[in-house]
Amino acid sequence: MAEFTMPSLGADMDEGTLQEWLVQPGDQVHKGDPVAVVETAKSTIEVECFETGTMGKLLVEPGTTVPVGTALALIEPTAEGPRKREKPRKPEKAEKAEKAERKRPVRPAPRRATPPARTEPARVSVASAAHERGHIEAGPLLRHLAERSGIELETLQGTGPGGRVTRTDVEQAAAAAEDAVPPSRLWVSPLARRLAAELDVDLAAVTGTGKDGAVRADDVRKAAAGPAAAAPPSRPSRPSRPVSAPVRPSEDRAAAMRQAIAGLMTRANRDIPHYYLSTTVDMAAAMDWLHEHNRHSPVSERLLPAALLLKAAAVAARQVPEVNGFWADDHFTAGDGVHLGVAVSLHGGGLVAPALRNADTLDISHLMTALKDLVARARTGRLRGSEVSGSTITVTILGDQGVETVFGVIYPPQVALVGFGRVVDRPCAVDGLLGVRPVVTATLSADHRATDGAVGARYLTAVDRLLQKPEEL
């Protein structure tokens, strides 16, 4: 039996709260499957399984807060299939008798009248009966995957034994749904979902007041209070006792997040000897290429300047590997790839830095799609454990906030952080002529234990060089 433990989902995480199990004992799990939902000081994260096997005993109940490294469950790894057993050798006399029996001529059996065919009652599979009852037997993991993909299990025809719905059925249905015109879906914040479960409120009956009709926590509280609470009284009456609202965790959550960020950044400033570099990058070629690309692309495939900046930062990190990795145990360890951490500000305050894995190998369009998906899931609390840990270098872009220059604090145990500001028009001299060109300020915060200024300068020079040939990114 292997132990499934509370993972470390960042250098600032000391403990986590198990919110929900997505599997049950006896369920088959595969490496990379989400098996639990864990809440940290920053966000709610889906934690993946680290190996393939059968889920054993669940050791921690939902709602329990435990330190990092605590055993949450037991997993029985998938064993090798049983070896083919050799047939026992028969006695010599039995073998001779069997050979003689095979040599004996076979006489045809007398023909018999064919009995009339019996009509057997039609067999109804369990799956069919379940479909008729509107119920499908499926484990929590499958239900979670179906819910995340917007698939109703009752509409699927299972291909597993006995008509059971399998993971493949759900994934194929989700892929087919992406090709079709997507229906309007109700977006609900994680806090609103939690309150709806506590107050027994049907989310389908809640009218959202957030952006694009999103359901917020206040909408759930109003629905729990009932329509009478919203309607003015027809006659004067003494004020009724207010409906007791549940404990509001948003303030506590925000305070815990700020405390976690403060602790990590204090340690980073104390332990990491930072040095800072900056350069001004001419973005004329990059912006011309971007405008031409977007002019011939549908709206859904148009790119933002951030995509070019991120791709240049990732490729430059591959070319200057000294800034791409970790400082631990008094030495530098290079990353196993360029896993670009992207700083994302959250709607309720605070930030997270999920990773775009192998960002240097993604083409620019796929990187843009991955960035949109990552930001959306970060702000709705749907990140996975593998996305909040393992970043080898972090990039922060604050151009959309109007900032022109940003010097960040390194996220330990990384050794570098890249900052980009807003693309602005500035007068500058090119080939002896004065003109106005779009430029962006690129900065580097680096760990002096791992590199010196010369290495940092090579990195920023590589970023500049790559942005002058955007068609090659």
- Triad 301, 304, 308: Cα angle to 5°: 105
Arch. (CATH architecture) of 2-77: Beta Barrel (2.40)
Name the one residue in this structure whose structure tokens are 């994260």: 45
- Contact, 23 vs 139, CB < 8 A? yes
pLDDT value of position 323: 98
- Class of the 130-179 domain? few secondary structures
- Superfamily of the domain at 273-472: Chloramphenicol acetyltransferase-like domain (3.30.559.10)
pLDDT of residue 78: 74
Looking at the chain, which residues constitute the CATH 4.10.320.10 domain(s)? 130-179, 190-229
How far is Cα 368 from Cα 304, in angstroms, rounded to an integer? Answer: 8
Written as one string, the DSSP assignment of 57-120 is EE-S-TT-EEETT-EEEEEEEPPPPPPPPPPPPPPHHHHHHHHHHHHSPPPPPPP-PPPPPP-P
Query: 193-229 burial, b for 16+ CB within 10 Å, e for fewer?
Result: bbbbeeeebebeebebebeeeebbbebbbbbbeeeee
Q: In whole angstroms, what is the distance from residue 243 CA to residue 261 CA?
A: 35
Instruction: Report the alpha-carbon distance of residue 380 to residue 371 in Å, rounded.
Output: 14
Helix orientation angle between 140-149 and 167-179, rounded to the nearest 10 degrees: 0
**pLDDT (0 to 100) of residue 182:** 44
What is the predicted pLDDT for the residue at 439? 97
Q: Among 279, 265, 276, 305, which Cα is nearest to 398's?
A: 305
pLDDT of 129 reads 41
Domain with CATH 2.40.50.100 in the chain: 2-77
What angle, rounded to 10 degrees, do the helices at 305-319 and 284-295 form?
130
Which pLDDT score is estimated for 101? 53
Domain with CATH 3.30.559.10 in the chain: 273-472
Q: Token digits for 157? A: 């025809």
The answer to whether the CB of 395 falls within 8 A of the CB of 58 is no
**Which DSSP symbol is given to 448?**
T
> For the chain (length 473 residues), average pLDDT per consecutive 10?
86 84 90 88 83 90 91 81 45 54 51 46 40 51 66 69 70 64 53 72 78 70 63 42 45 76 90 97 96 93 95 98 96 96 86 94 95 90 85 95 94 97 92 92 98 98 98 93
Hey, which CATH number is domain 190-229, 3.40.50.300, 3.40.50.1000, 3.20.20.370, 4.10.320.10?
Answer: 4.10.320.10
pLDDT value at residue 95: 55
